[in-house]
Amino acid sequence: MRLTEDSCYRALTARDRRFDGVFFVGVKSTGIYCRPVCPARTPRQDRCRFFVGAAAAEQAGFRPCLRCRPELAPGQAPVDSKSRFAHDIAARIESGALDDGGSLEHLAGEFGLSSRQLRRIVAAELGVSPVELAQTRRLLLAKQLLTETRLPIIEVVYASGFASVRRFNALFRTHYRLTPSRLRKAADSPADEHTLRLTLSYRPPLAWDEMLNFLAARAITGVEAVEKQTYLRTVALRKHRGWLRVGRAENGHALSVDLSPSLTPVLPNVLARLRSLFDLDARPDVVAEHLSADERLRPLVRQTPGLRVPGCFDAFELAWRAVLGQQVSVRSATTLAGRIANTFGDTIDTPFPQLNRLSPTASRLAAVEVKDLAKLGIVRTRAASLAALAKAAARGGLLDLWAAEPEQRLEQLQSIPGIGPWTAGYINMRAFRWPDAWPEGDLALRKALGVASTHQLRGMAEPWRPWRAYAVMHLWHSLSKTESRKP
């Protein structure tokens, strides 16, 4: 559905969850902006203004609703090249790229732009400046922390990305017309000094069991674990180390995230990585409608609604794990990954016995000799590829790929010795979140569709664009169900 004022109002009156986070509505009579799923009484259409993002609503003078809480809305998942560039920039801002001394010039440099070009792109697509986008993100995260946690207000200030308490207080009063302490008194948040608990919303449906099964089969021993319908892992970002646990929230369409307080200084980055890992900004309705047009995929989409493309928490970790998976079973690759983590990952104490290692960094693996990797049972040519990947990542090579076009990214990945089309496509699919990614030559896909050649498979997949990665997940899942029924 093309977004017009009339179509937005129809979605608003229907409380259509498919459009949660796709647009926001500002109510002129109250000065408040809401999500389209807000349970408040629907205003008349002539009292509504519609915005593509929370930052645009706040720039227009509206303040966030305390009832539907716009800070919990899932984000958008664009696929067209025009909007993708702006949203890639927005995603970097969302993860805190302009916090902690980060500059607009440095962010622009990541995308090969000048700061002026970056401002123009973001303003044209999202209707606000990068600084306004970052400011809204900080305010909404602060609002969530004040509502859902008992962090001291000064910690909320810095955790949400503000560098000054005075600046935070001034902006909070101006935008929200109440003080942080007043919002804290109105909130009913649990008091637990040992754990932070936050929520991350998504558009239903979400095939949570299937997501966990996929991650469990590939979990790196000591670093990750899946148990009792929850995902656990250790975290090391900058100098901050800790752990997290993610499960379904008791109420609503959201995930519940428990984190160690040690991760508070890097909270924006952690939350952005989790949204990527669980593909929480997906539009399952749009994907399902498109893929169901293919008679081969239609029954698979209906059998597993809300199947997402699992992302990753760390791009380098996913990349070296993918290299290990070349031409071996998932189980064998997972065993090798556990050996690497146990040998080269730092130890860490957590409340969970199964979490005791941090994922090895690129600089650590770059310093390891190929022969030492081969001693772990890794084929020497694959060990050499892993070492080359680590050296490229340590030089910042993977970071440069974020701003590249998908096809260019494939070429750059394949320039690393030992990385072929399948591995590059898989990394593009999961680490770089490209919804049309394609693991070229995948044998499981050929088996699932009963085709003999890669060329034939590629031709069959053309109508699935721009959602081929989701089609891949449905086909892999159908194959795994078939295998599980074997005696």
User: For 236-290, what is each residue's pLDDT tens digit?
Assistant: 999 999 999 999 999 889 999 999 999 999 999 999 999 999 999 999 999 999 9
pLDDT digits (tens, 9 = 90+) for 68-127: 999 999 987 656 555 677 878 888 888 888 988 889 998 888 887 899 988 998 898 888
- Whether omega before 39 lies within 30 degrees of 0, making that bond cis, reads no
Q: What superfamily does domain 81-186 belong to in CATH? A: Homeodomain-like (1.10.10.60)
CA distance 487 to 469: 30
Residue 100 appears among annotated catalytic residues: no
DSSP 44-95: PGGGEEEESSHHHHHHTT-EE-TTT-GGGS------SHHHHHHHHHHHHHHT
Active site residue 192: no
**pLDDT at 485 > cutoff 50:** no
| CATH 1.10.340.30 domain span(s) along the chain | 315-349+360-484
The whole-angstrom distance between residue 251's C-alpha and the CA centroid of its chain comes to 21
CA atoms within 13 A of residue 447's CA, in its CB half-sphere: 10
Q: Euclidean distance between the first and final Cα of the chain, in Å?
A: 46
* Angle at 66 (CA atoms; ends 64, 70), nearest 5 degrees: 50
Taking the C-alpha atoms of residue 464 and residue 290, their distance in angstroms, rounded to an integer, is 7
Domain with CATH 1.10.10.60 in the chain: 81-186
Say which of 34, 38, 48, 68 is annotated catalytic.
34
**Domain spanning 196-282 has what CATH number?**
3.30.310.20
Q: Which residues, 6 or more positions from 411, have their beta carbon under 8 angstroms from its beta carbon? A: none
Spatial contact of 483 and 309, defined as CB atoms under 8 Å apart: no
**Among the options 20, 285, 314, 442, which is catalytic?**
442
CATH architecture of 5-72: 3-Layer(aba) Sandwich (3.40)
Looking at the chain, the domain(s) classified CATH 3.30.310.20 span 196-282
Helix (H, G, I), strand (E, B) or coil at 368: coil
- For the stretch 291-346, pLDDT in tens is 999 999 999 999 999 999 999 999 999 999 999 999 889 999 999 999 999 999 99
| Digit-coded pLDDT (tens) for 166-205 | 999 999 999 998 899 888 876 666 656 678 999 999 999 9
Assigned CATH topology for domain 315-349+360-484:
Endonuclease III; domain 1 (1.10.340)
Distance CA 360, CA 142 (A): 32
